[in-house]
Amino acid sequence: MAGPATYFDPARKDELDPATRALVARRERALGTAYRLFYDEPLQPVRGLGTKVWDADGTEYLDAYNNVPSVGHAHPRVVAAIAEQAATLNTHTRYLQEGILDYAEQVLETLPASIETMMFACTGSEANDLALRIAKHVTGGTGVVVTTNAYHGVTTEIAAISPSLGGMESLAPWVRMVDTANLAGVGAAFDELQAAGVKPAAFIVDTILASDGVIPSINNLVDAVAATRDRGALFIADEVQPGFGRLGHGMWGFDRYGLSPDLVTVGKPMANGHPVAAVMARRELTEAFGRSVRYFNTFGGNTVSIAAAQATLDVLRDEGLIENARVIGERLLGQLNGIDSPLIAEVRGAGLFIGVTLERDGRPATAETLAVVNELRRRRVLLAASGVGNNILKIRPPLPFDAGDSDRLVTELQRALALHA
Amino acid sequence: MAGPATYFDPARKDELDPATRALVARRERALGTAYRLFYDEPLQPVRGLGTKVWDADGTEYLDAYNNVPSVGHAHPRVVAAIAEQAATLNTHTRYLQEGILDYAEQVLETLPASIETMMFACTGSEANDLALRIAKHVTGGTGVVVTTNAYHGVTTEIAAISPSLGGMESLAPWVRMVDTANLAGVGAAFDELQAAGVKPAAFIVDTILASDGVIPSINNLVDAVAATRDRGALFIADEVQPGFGRLGHGMWGFDRYGLSPDLVTVGKPMANGHPVAAVMARRELTEAFGRSVRYFNTFGGNTVSIAAAQATLDVLRDEGLIENARVIGERLLGQLNGIDSPLIAEVRGAGLFIGVTLERDGRPATAETLAVVNELRRRRVLLAASGVGNNILKIRPPLPFDAGDSDRLVTELQRALALHA
């Protein structure tokens, strides 16, 4: 299976410097071959702060890619919260804890009033797995509709609804795909499932369509949700990528469409890298699920995870990072639109989630995108590619990205594009 | 669905003191009803150290239950490692990291030579999900054999092979159960699957049979593994509970049977409560999987998780905790066997994983077990119940449990048994 263009090709190990080659060889030996590394020359970061990371040689890089350390690498308030709680107690949800209630209540306040409960897991994959399990339980159906290049996670169940993973893990027979350019086909997809004897359960969508190429304005999303509900299925908003303010407009990607999902899933940026995730849902859904299923996730919502998530939420608010995402994101969009390069076909985004599509003669410029990403790595700016054709630069930095960071990214991108135009 | 006896019954909320009642009500409101709390009077621990925790009133409890903080609550070396790495960098496996290689190499050294690769996830559920995904991929089969009251996790796929969860989440049609008392039926279970057109994929077993009631000496396990392999299926050792030295004899539960599993899964105690888990496997399995599937778990094996896991492994060795589990475990077994109570039908265990079966007139004493667990909580000793009949006291403390802790547990247990005999 061909991975996205920006992965290191193990066949080219001999081109690496001896120290990197030795690490890559140890890695293949101990971790096996299902793992991938970024870049032609894999990077070994050893330190991070804010929007920067440093490699083992002390070289500094601008991080325009990592959305997990959302409030900035090694944010001191998040670090302090983790250290303090780990030194005090780390335990689970079968004991009473006040922190988890304080946190859940604050997050639920940011959601539509119809979403009243929050359940904790450790990863976005687990959150989507649980959300779908609830949806199937409540509807009694199994049919799921996803977008063409959707990625929702790596559990067996969720890999089976993630066409972007491809290979044998491809779609389960109870899944149908709809074109991201126009979701008007969702109703028909459910009808097709029903004609095949599969009762509808859920339509799940990442509201920035990250793996589909970063699409800030999704056509027909509201109609697609209505068509979903007409057929008795539930709408799951996968906010693992757009959630927690990255789009610079409120906390959630679906807010921009005036939608009220049935279930909302979150993960990656929730605790700035500490493994925690969650499903928020309408009360009647979790009640119906809870009547016949007890749920316990040993680490999910443990006291240290909650301390990390609370500190991350506090920083997001106190440092005005959603507003920063909006202001710097708009500025960066303008700068990117101003770049004069024959490769750039489109620049689009919301907040600090931006896609830049590269084309040559109207066709995806996959090789050039690969070259630009690797050139930027040499120029000490970290980015990656996205989309079905791997021809979309994915810009998704930590949210404290500032005007200077933005200028530096644009300058280096201009040079990299010029070299490969 | 009836949960195990030691869960709090929400219908009895009005019997609680006002502060606890308020927290329970907030919890139901914010987290929904699928979550369970321990005990008739739910506990609110706020601090822990070693084998003790303290509640909000400053009352101290002996923890004879929690296996996750395996090297002791809030162990200073683990806390320091987490704090230091979180302040330095927390990033993922698509960059090179030396720590993850050092750690994986050390863990792999403790395993049979045929197990050469290690892949990281965040929870035991994810690890079992990945192990089964690999097994299905490599064998081309889907048939799975589990024990009667097995629990392997909560993803959709793994809930479907976990009969202990019951309810609608019960077994998938490609799963068969075998009696834990005698695993001679594993071959026949695979044959039954094959007769139904289901190709064998895996036999998965927790090598201490924790949810089946703590069984330190499993009949016919070696033959069951041979029967599994005869049919082209793989043997997955679920070491989430027995692993990392809890049984007081080497690192792994399967060691005691001289077995070499095809895949080994770990979780809970791996990083003393930090969410990390892993699958270790024969190289040809991960190679075959890696040829068509790329695997990435955003948080799995991140730098902070690895620092926590490394510190936990260091403490396990430096403080001789496996030897302590053996010595104190044997001493405790002797003390428990010396208790004169008509309720005790059997005491059994390995290291610091001990089960005490309570019976009345040859039948499971479920009500008495519930009463004893709740009485012990009032006497400031934390335990729980296990087994199909919820009549087995599960003793599974942090590994630094010492002779004084053991004496205290036995003294309080004698009193609690006397009250309910």
Instruction: Give yes or no for residue A168 having a pLDDT over 90.
Output: no
Contact present, B333 and B351 (Cβ < 8 Å)? no
Interface contact flag, B95 A42, Cβ < 8 Å: yes
Q: In this complex, is the C-beta atom of A287 within 8 Å of any C-beta atom belonging to chain B?
A: yes
Q: In this complex, is the C-beta atom of B296 within 8 Å of any C-beta atom belonging to chain A?
A: yes
Substitution target from A6, A38, A95 for chain B, most B beta carbons within 10 A: A95
Interface contact flag, A290 B48, Cβ < 8 Å: no
At residue A3 the predicted structure's pLDDT band, cuts being 50, 70 and 90, is very low
Instruction: Give yes or no for residue A242 having a pLDDT over 90.
Output: yes
Least confident residue range of B56-60, B211-215, B238-242, B301-305: B211-215
At residue B281 the predicted structure's pLDDT band, cuts being 50, 70 and 90, is very high
The architecture (CATH level 2) of B76-318 comes to: 3-Layer(aba) Sandwich (3.40)
pLDDT digits (tens, 9 = 90+) for A186-220: 999 999 999 999 999 999 999 999 988 899 999 99
Distances (CA, A) of A259 to A106, A110, B410: 20, 13, 58
Point out the residue among A33, A43, A74 whose CB comes nearest to the CB of B286: A33
Point out the residue among B35, B48, B90 whose CB comes nearest to the CB of A273: B90
In terms of Cβ atoms closer than 10 Å to its own Cβ (0-12, 13-18, 19+), residue A318 is: exposed
pLDDT at residue A169 in the model: 56
Instruction: Give yes or no for residue A62 having a pLDDT over 80.
Output: yes
Which ranges in chain A are annotated with CATH 3.90.1150.10? Answer: 10-71+320-420
- Chain B partners of A167 at a C-beta cutoff of 8 Å? 292-293
CA distance B70 to B139: 35
In terms of Cβ atoms closer than 10 Å to its own Cβ (0-12, 13-18, 19+), residue A349 is: buried
User: Strand, helix or coil at A381?
Assistant: strand
Other Cβ atoms less than 10 A from the Cβ of B418: the count is 13
Q: In this complex, is the C-beta atom of A34 within 8 Å of any C-beta atom belonging to chain B?
A: yes
At residue A378 the predicted structure's pLDDT band, cuts being 50, 70 and 90, is very high
Q: Which of B158, B141, B267, B145 is nearest to B199 (CA)?
A: B141
Least confident residue range of A404-413, B2-11, B193-202, B211-220: B2-11
Task: Give the list of residues 6+ apart from residue B381 with CB closer than 8 angstroms, or none.
Answer: B61, B62, B64, B408, B409, B412, B413
Beta bridge mates, A60: A54
pLDDT digits (tens, 9 = 90+) for B363-373: 999 999 999 99
Which ranges in chain B are annotated with CATH 3.40.640.10? Answer: 76-318
CA distance A412 to B310: 38
- Chain A partners of B82 at a C-beta cutoff of 8 Å? 82-83, 86
pLDDT at residue B169 in the model: 55
Instruction: Give yes or no for residue A179 having a pLDDT over 50.
Output: yes
Question: What rounded mean pLDDT belongs to chain B?
Answer: 95
At residue B331 the predicted structure's pLDDT band, cuts being 50, 70 and 90, is very high
Question: What rounded mean pLDDT belongs to chain A?
Answer: 95
pTM, two decimals, is 0.97
Substitution target from B84, B107, B156 for chain A, most A beta carbons within 10 A: B156
Substitution target from B107, B155, B383 for chain A, most A beta carbons within 10 A: B155
Query: In B, residues 57-96, which contact A (CB 8 Å cutoff)?
Result: 66, 68-69, 73-74, 76, 78-79, 82-83, 86-96
Start-end of H helices in A160-245 = 186-195, 221-230
Q: Which CATH superfamily is domain A10-71+320-420 in?
A: Aspartate Aminotransferase, domain 1 (3.90.1150.10)
Q: Which of B252, B397, B401, B414 is nearest to B328 (CA)?
A: B401
Instruction: Give yes or no for residue A1 having a pLDDT over 50.
Output: no
In terms of Cβ atoms closer than 10 Å to its own Cβ (0-12, 13-18, 19+), residue A155 is: buried
Q: In this complex, is the C-beta atom of A307 within 8 Å of any C-beta atom belonging to chain B?
A: no
Between B386 and B202, the more confident residue is: B202
User: Integer distance in angstroms from the first to the last C-alpha of chain A?
Assistant: 28
Question: Which DSSP string corresponds to B245-278?
Answer: TTTSSSS-GGGGGT---SEEEE-GGGGBTBS-EE
List the single residue in A with minimal CA-CA distance to B135: A156
Instruction: Give yes or no for residue B128 having a pLDDT over 50.
Output: yes
ipTM exceeds 0.90: yes
Interface contact flag, A273 B299, Cβ < 8 Å: yes
Interval A152-167 mean pLDDT = 90
pLDDT at residue A166 in the model: 76
Interface contact flag, B116 A44, Cβ < 8 Å: no
pLDDT digits (tens, 9 = 90+) for A311-361: 999 999 999 999 999 999 999 999 999 999 999 999 999 999 999 999 999
pLDDT at residue A121 in the model: 98
- Chain A partners of B136 at a C-beta cutoff of 8 Å? 156
